[in-house]
Structure 1
């Protein structure tokens, strides 16, 4: 088949391939990035479905505007207001089919083959694949426990003059890192100084376990004159409400939103109006704060259990920073005392012990660190976490 040349730039997701191995009986998986389905507010979503059909069945079941179902846009603007984004109007955002579609729309509207795009190293695997599909030449900016190294980021922006910079500042996937307040302000200053678009992907920002994280880059843009014109913010209900609804959104300058809306028309006409109406009714009912409190409590307990188990079972064979939110541990094998120092090799041994995780190398756009790995604590309870990490210790 005469496939498009752009497909030569991408390959099947290493994570999706790993899932083929997870059908073994008794396996404990730390591999996925899914929320725990046991914590979905099924009764609340059912009430929202009923309310959507009772209040406006025609609107919920009919074709809709590409920009999004207006009652949902109103609710999302209000939701973002509770997170410090003042003065947001419904027309300042479009609804997308998950935040993944927002990234795809950014690729379609912004990237020409050969364009430089700066991403974190490591970063979300699907972002690497998406931007490469459109021909981006990805440049990797290093990340530590406080998020992207902004001094190095400035050097890379000055050198490469990228079309945009893509960041997951709050509990990143896979890094789990939280960009410090000082660095967030520096990012905004860089956006203005170099007239460079900053894409803030924020699917995990509400999943904090203790103190709330610093305000979003979008929210802080009010403090840095001119920076709002260079911020695109991608949000999602997938990790906090339900991935199956496929409801995300993008807040961006009007010119970018217009181009993205045009491209979305060609892709799917609009995100499911039924899903949008359901999400709108859920937010309107005021159930989100209780839902967030519950998932924060449960995920926080699981994160602490995994950290304790890793220290107990693997000791100095592994190093990591305890995550303060999100769904992931990002760890590095040290090779101490002759233990395994390669994430892919440990993954093979772990499967034999009936435990799975994702090696870290695929999360790098350039120069992968093969000693790294990602572990998700989201879908395993404390007992399974402790048993799974025990098996991991036996594999190392």
Structure 2
């Protein structure tokens, strides 16, 4: 009789990536969230206090009242045409001009990434990824058997000059298939890629013939500085570059992640193949969720609600920044973001973020140690602090005060 999961795994002939899979290091921390009084800087969750609950409920009721069959029946794999038209209008506001046939509604933007990997990445294929990077992207690419090649970043995102040298030095036989980046308020660093670097990335994608993935879940969450056009919009002005950029958008951070509504924008050849891959994945994204999202977007509530979210996140970031300066100025240095949900920090004095986390948990505060965001050669002193999900500025200050106690207890 099998007595444990390890022994049970010997019963099955799992595929190579799943013989000894590693789960999300971040989600391993979620068990601490149920602890009474815990203050979390860990999860990349939007604030539950900022959901437009009334607006979403009204949109769901209107969707069901207007056409209950459309909500309950199977739908178009590409997504409901009315929702796609609403997203096209949303993208027009972001300076991206596309038609609905260029767009697929996905079950969260993570599904879009998964579909793209399925159609483009075979085991052993080289893939470029900014470092540090979004862990779920690292995980998805590793499970696909990709050979991950980290790309250096600085306080403005991908270092394009270093990337150019890196690409020119690569063996032509190791031509990368993809480059993954979150160019606006990156996860985990909070950095934003300037226009010049965005245009240079698009040109590099065209020159070296790799697909540039622009993952943009946080772009609307700007609380300081001037807006920057998405790479896919800038690529339109560069002859030949448009077909090499794939854009992923999402309502998770600006409406609600529970809707699971994301979208991809890509060339016709890529879009057609992603549709076939999606047919075998989930047939279609939840029609009820799609109709709810459609009515919400058409109501105009999003344009009214995003400034509310942005203002709240601005206050929480300012509280975090002020608390870090007040309580731990000699212990932690950090990158100043212009928006988004994260502060990327580093412990001074050769301290290890994973070690400090153990003492932080004893003080009822958690964060994510930086190694979770690296392919290899991780900065063991780095850490991601998410200010978005904290209930308010007072809790942010209290969380940093507890972090100070953890640092002092070594």
For residue 109 of structure 2, the aligned residue among 89, 94, 99 is 99
Separation in 2 of the partners of 1:139 and 1:284?
42
CA-atom RMSD, angstroms? Answer: 1.2
Check if 1:232 corresponds to 2:236: no
- Normalising by structure 2, we get a TM-score of 0.93
Separation in 1 of the partners of 2:397 and 2:371?
25
More off after superposition, 191-200 vs 76-85: 191-200
Which structure 2 segments of 5+ residues have no match?
1-11
- Counting matched residue pairs gives 391
More off after superposition, 249-258 vs 187-196: 187-196
1:118 counterpart residue number: 128
Separation in 2 of the partners of 1:341 and 1:180?
32
Separation in 2 of the partners of 1:133 and 1:379?
29
For residue 141 of structure 1, the aligned residue among 137, 151, 154 is 151
Separation in 2 of the partners of 1:124 and 1:245?
21
Cα-to-partner distance string for 1:146-167 (whole Å, 9 max, x where unaligned): 1111112223333142001001
Separation in 1 of the partners of 2:224 and 2:189?
18
Check if 1:154 corresponds to 2:164: yes
Separation in 2 of the partners of 1:262 and 1:2?
27
Asked whether the 8 Å contact 1:188–1:217 carries over to 2, the reply is yes
What is the CA distance between 1:113 and its match in structure 2?
A: 0.4
What is the CA distance between 1:21 and its match in structure 2?
A: 2.6
For residue 12 of structure 1, the aligned residue among 15, 23, 39 is 23
Check if 1:354 corresponds to 2:364: yes
Asked whether the 8 Å contact 2:343–2:384 carries over to 1, the reply is yes
Secondary structure at the counterpart of residue 343 of structure 2: strand
1:307-386 maps to which residues of 2 (within 5 A)? 307-335=321-349, 341-380=351-390, 381-386=392-397
Asked whether the 8 Å contact 1:67–1:95 carries over to 2, the reply is yes
Separation in 2 of the partners of 1:190 and 1:209?
30
1:148-227 maps to which residues of 2 (within 5 A)? 148-158=158-168, 159=170, 160-227=174-241
What is the CA distance between 1:208 and its match in structure 2?
A: 0.6
2:9 counterpart residue number: none
Check if 1:253 corresponds to 2:264: no
Separation in 2 of the partners of 1:248 and 1:329?
24
1:58 counterpart residue number: 69
Asked whether the 8 Å contact 2:126–2:147 carries over to 1, the reply is yes
Separation in 2 of the partners of 1:184 and 1:39?
31
Cα-to-partner distance string for 1:291-350 (whole Å, 9 max, x where unaligned): 110000000100011011111111121111221111111011111xxxx61110111111
More off after superposition, 93-102 vs 56-65: 56-65
Cα-to-partner distance string for 1:93-147 (whole Å, 9 max, x where unaligned): 0000000101111111111001110111100001100011110011111111111
Cα-to-partner distance string for 1:162-201 (whole Å, 9 max, x where unaligned): 0010010000111111011111111111112212210000
2:315 counterpart residue number: 301
2:40 counterpart residue number: 29
For residue 51 of structure 2, the aligned residue among 40, 61, 68 is 40
What is the CA distance between 1:54 and its match in structure 2?
A: 2.3
